[in-house]
Structure 1
Amino acid sequence: MTEALSSTAGVLRLADLDPAPLAALLSGYGLALTPVAPGEPIPGSFWGESEAGLIGDRLYARPDTPLHSVLHEACHYICMSPERRAALHTDAGGDTAEENAVCYLQILLAARLPGVGAARLMADMDRWGYSFRLGSARRWFEQDAEDARDWLRGHGLIDGADRPTGQRRERG
């Protein structure tokens, strides 16, 4: 993981954008974007360093936290069962199908943020070190993510046109 974390030069960070649209987006899912002071440890961060953290319905991030990390952890919150959400502290857990859905949804949500967009987020995911069978986030998203779309549709998180519904998972 250290190699991936050291290769994040040029990724969008929380400080690079107006946090208000991001906070509003997350709030719609019942998640509060909670700022952490520069240099302070991030509560609930599974990966440490500058990566976002989750505790309950709070997503913690510093100005140097990569946006893809914020969106990824937010999508874990959105995609997890209510039972897991109720006990959430640091480790979002989930299986491979849910992890794929999280990656897909974070790309869709990035498209809703001014100055971000899906293409930029996928490039940042590649820089960080996400790995996909086809070699890049874009190729996976466009050519190999039917299982993720089906999972998200099955849980009511996206509609038939791949648009986020604004709902979080509400059943096991």
Structure 2
Amino acid sequence: MRDVAGESVAELLSRYGLRLQTVPDGTPIPGSYWHEDEAGIIGLEVFARQDTPLHSILHESCHVICMDQERRAVLHTDAGGEYAEEDAVCYLQILLANWIPGFGRERIWEDMDAWGYTFRLGSAKRWFAEDAEDARAWLTRHGLLTNCDEIIFKMRN
């Protein structure tokens, strides 16, 4: 997160009603499933430090956005969800990357590959371009994306 203006990340998340909570470097991140420097989620709050990767912040935020209201109401650390929702989360986080000045799709694809996301085509970029129709359709079906790939800044009902 330290590579970009933190306000831009907080502002983006606020469009969904999410609150970015920063915690001091070196301290545990509340609600982090993966621990270390990975983002955490509790309710509508996304927790991160300055060393938290942006792809992690976006990924966990997109879990909150994509889950149904029942899971969101009791959300603490583990987003759960099904395979199709996980793909939708990955697709949406890639779209949202362009909304953070100084980040963007190329960087998130690199970061996702370096972190170890696995895709049948071998990279996040190829998956997004060639194999993500189901994820895109899921987002459209749940009212999070238009048919033209325009983001609808609301959470899934």
TM-score by length of 1: 0.90
Q: State how far apart, in whole Å, the 2-side matches of 1:116 and 1:91 are.
A: 26
In the TM superposition, residue 112 of structure 1 has moved relative to its aligned partner by: 1.2
Q: State how far apart, in whole Å, the 2-side matches of 1:124 and 1:163 are.
A: 23
The two structures, once aligned, show a CA RMSD in angstroms of 0.5
Other-structure match for 1:135: 122
Pick one of 13, 18, 23 that aligns with 1:31. Answer: 18
Q: State how far apart, in whole Å, the 2-side matches of 1:56 and 1:80 are.
A: 11
Listed as ranges, the matches of 1:49-128 within 5 Å are 49-128=36-115
| SS, match of residue 50 in structure 2 | coil
Q: State how far apart, in whole Å, the 2-side matches of 1:17 and 1:156 are.
A: 29
Q: State how far apart, in whole Å, the 2-side matches of 1:43 and 1:59 are.
A: 9
Pick one of 32, 42, 66 that aligns with 2:29. Answer: 42
Moved beyond 2 Å, runs of 4+: none
Other-structure match for 1:153: 140
Q: Which runs of 5+ in 1 are unaligned?
A: 1-13
In the TM superposition, residue 163 of structure 1 has moved relative to its aligned partner by: 1.5
Q: For this pair of structures, how many residues does the alignment match?
A: 157
Other-structure match for 1:6: none
In the TM superposition, residue 107 of structure 1 has moved relative to its aligned partner by: 0.2
Q: State how far apart, in whole Å, the 2-side matches of 1:121 and 1:87 are.
A: 29
Q: State how far apart, in whole Å, the 2-side matches of 1:40 and 1:120 are.
A: 26
* AA matched with 2:79: A
After superposition, give the CA deviation of every residue in 1:121-165 in whole Å (9 maximum; x if it has no partner): 011100110000000000000000000000000001011111111
TM-score by length of 2: 0.99
After superposition, give the CA deviation of every residue in 1:81-121 in whole Å (9 maximum; x if it has no partner): 00100100000000000000000000000011111111110
Q: State how far apart, in whole Å, the 2-side matches of 1:41 and 1:158 are.
A: 34
Q: Which runs of 5+ in 2 are unaligned?
A: none
Q: State how far apart, in whole Å, the 2-side matches of 1:107 and 1:119 are.
A: 9
| SS, match of residue 20 in structure 2 | strand
Identity of aligned residues (%): 61
Q: State how far apart, in whole Å, the 2-side matches of 1:144 and 1:105 are.
A: 14
